[in-house]
Amino acid sequence: MKKTKMLKKNYEFKAVLNKGQYYSGKNIVMFIKKNKKQINFLGIAISSKLGKAVKRNYIKRIIREIYRKEEEQLKTGYNLVFLWKKKSDIKQACYDDVKKDVTKIFKEAKMFLEDKNEKSTNFFN
Distance CA 120, CA 43 (A): 35
> For the segment 42-54, what is each residue's pLDDT rounded down to a tens digit?
999 999 999 999 9
Sorted by where each begins, the domain ranges of the chain are 4-124
Cut 0.75: pTM above it: yes
Q: At CA 110, angle to CA 106 and CA 113, rounded to 5?
A: 95
**Residue 103 confidence (pLDDT) above 60:** yes
Task: Match domain 4-124 to its CATH number in 1.10.10.10, 3.10.20.30, 3.30.230.10, 2.60.120.10.
Answer: 3.30.230.10
Name the average pLDDT for the chain.
88
Write the single-letter amino acid at 96: D
